[in-house]
């Protein structure tokens, strides 16, 4: 088990540091359900998989890393798990509490189980959607709380066309939200004057109406290197984008 743990740690490090194309697999996260069993020294957790194509690529015996919701990849790994049972839409992963090299902390609902799946043929990795949204199980919605994409579907089907479609939807919703909020009396308090970054001196809603695909790509690049807050959560794209530009549009430093 020690060798397996080291192997997983090395691969995750390479994924997080831009060396992902050395591998023929994808790292993806699934939130665990409230089904958590602690019996006879074994912890059993469950993930719910609804996409038929994703079901085919998760195998019994598959290894996974459990990361705490809100603090992933921050030296707080909760343990290393193995797929012990597959029953319909539900996949069960177990970990021995007696193995101090595998079990570190008790799991809680919505913690994220990261595992590797075979990379589908022609899967699009030259963009940013996989590394920000798909890998970290982030689900985005428009102003009407309609999903902008199906997360599990993207695990096996991500093309350049799909990526462009998602970016386009994000831009359109950000712009629409700003236009609608300007008309709301309550929106005036939120229309702050941005005091840093490329939109310094511009009102928030005006900056949102100027949103372009490149801006959304930059925001997703920020999520890629700072996934702790976002991973495993659901957001309206307009709300988290607005928070980002109000903070000065921080982006990763290119090496």
pLDDT in tens, 6-32: 445 555 555 555 555 556 889 999 999
Angle between helical axes of 160-182 and 237-246 (0-180°, round to 10): 80
pLDDT in tens, 61-75: 999 999 999 888 877
**pLDDT for res 22:** 54
What share of the chain in percent tops pLDDT 90?
78
**pLDDT for res 20:** 52
Domain ranges of the chain: 2-118, 129-246
Contact (Cβ atoms closer than 8 angstroms) between residue 30 and residue 49: yes
The CATH label, of 2.60.40.60, 2.40.30.20, 2.40.50.100, 2.40.110.10, for the domain at 2-118 is: 2.40.30.20
Concatenating the DSSP letter of every residue in 1-64 gives -HHHHHHHHHHHHHHHTT-GGG-SEEEEEEEEEEEEEEETTEEEEEEE---HHHHTT--TT-EE
pLDDT confidence tier of residue 123, bands split at 50, 70 and 90: very high
Chain centre to alpha carbon of residue 223: 8
Least-confidence region, from 45-54, 68-77, 160-169, 183-192: 183-192
Structure tokens at 236: 């309206």
Q: Which helix (H) or strand (E) holds 163?
A: helix 160-182
Asked if the model's pLDDT at residue 217 lies above 90, the reply is yes
111 closest CA partner among 158, 59, 43: 43
């Amino acid at each position: 088990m020690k060798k397996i743990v080291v192997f997983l740690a090395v691969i995750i490090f390479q994924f997080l540091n831009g060396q992902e194309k050395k591998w023929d697999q994808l790292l993806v996260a699934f939130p665990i359900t409230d089904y958590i069993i602690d019996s006879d020294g074994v912890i059993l957790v469950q993930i719910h998989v609804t996409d038929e194509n994703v079901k085919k690529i998760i195998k019994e015996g598959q290894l996974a890393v459990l990361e705490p919701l809100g603090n992933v990849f921050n030296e707080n790994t909760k343990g290393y798990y193995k797929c012990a049972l597959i029953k319909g839409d539900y996949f069960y992963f177990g970990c021995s509490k007696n193995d101090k090299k595998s079990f570190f902390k008790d799991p809680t609902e919505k913690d994220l189980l990261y595992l590797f799946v075979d990379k589908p043929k022609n899967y699009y990795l030259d963009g940013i959607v996989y590394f920000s949204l798909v890998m970290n199980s982030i689900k985005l919605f428009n102003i009407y709380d309609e999903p902008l994409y199906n997360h599990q579907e993207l695990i096996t089907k991500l093309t350049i066309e799909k990526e462009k479609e998602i970016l386009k939807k994000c831009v359109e919703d950000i712009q629409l939200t700003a236009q609608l909020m300007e008309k709301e009396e309550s929106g005036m308090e939120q229309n702050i004057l941005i005091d840093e970054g490329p939109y310094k001196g511009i009102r928030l809603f005006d900056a949102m109406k100027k949103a372009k695909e490149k801006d959304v790509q930059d925001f997703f690049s920020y999520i890629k290197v700072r996934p702790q807050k976002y991973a495993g959560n659901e957001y309206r794209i307009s709300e988290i984008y607005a928070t980002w530009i109000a903070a000065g549009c921080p982006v990763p430093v290119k090496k």
